[in-house]
C-alpha cells in the first residue's frame, strides 16, 4: 500500500465488543466513496475475523492489518 494514500475516515472501536465494531464499520464504509480508505481501530478479539469476513462478503478489501499487544488496526478500501 502507498503510505501517502489518504485515509478518508477513522473509526475508533476500542472498548466495543461484537457486534458493535461490525455495525459501526458497515455504517462508516457506507458513508465513503468507492476506493476511499477506512481505518478501523479495535480491541475485540472477534474483530479480525468479523471485519475480514465482512469486507470479503461485501466487495471491500482489507488492504492492511496490524496487530499490537492490545489492539488491531485495519485499513479497508471501499469497493464499488
Confidence check: pLDDT of 20 > 60: yes
pLDDT of residue 5: 84
Does 13 participate in catalysis according to the annotation? no
| Cα distance between residue 40 and residue 60, in whole Å | 14
Q: Which of 18, 32, 41, 62 is catalytic?
A: 18
Write down all domains in the chain, each with its CATH number in brackets: 9-77 (3.30.110.40)
**Cis-peptide into 19, omega within 30 deg:** yes
For a pLDDT cut of 70, what percent of the chain falls above it?
96
**Residue of higher predicted confidence among 1 and 15:** 15
The mean pLDDT value for 54-79 works out to: 97
Question: Considering the entire predicted model, what is its pTM?
Answer: 0.92
* pLDDT at residue 3, rounded to an integer: 56
48-69 burial: b if 16+ Cβ within 10 Å, else e: eebbeebbeeeebebeeeeeee
Amino acid at each position: 500500500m502507498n503510505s501517502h494514500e489518504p485515509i478518508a475516515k477513522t473509526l475508533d472501536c476500542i472498548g466495543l465488543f461484537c457486534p458493535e465494531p461490525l455495525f459501526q464499520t458497515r455504517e462508516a464504509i457506507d458513508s465513503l466513496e468507492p476506493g476511499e480508505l477506512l481505518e478501523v481501530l479495535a480491541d475485540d478479539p472477534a474483530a479480525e475475523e468479523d471485519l475480514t469476513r465482512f469486507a470479503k462478503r461485501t466487495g471491500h478489501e482489507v488492504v492492511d492489518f496490524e496487530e499490537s499487544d492490545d489492539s488491531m488496526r485495519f485499513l479497508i478500501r471501499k469497493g464499488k
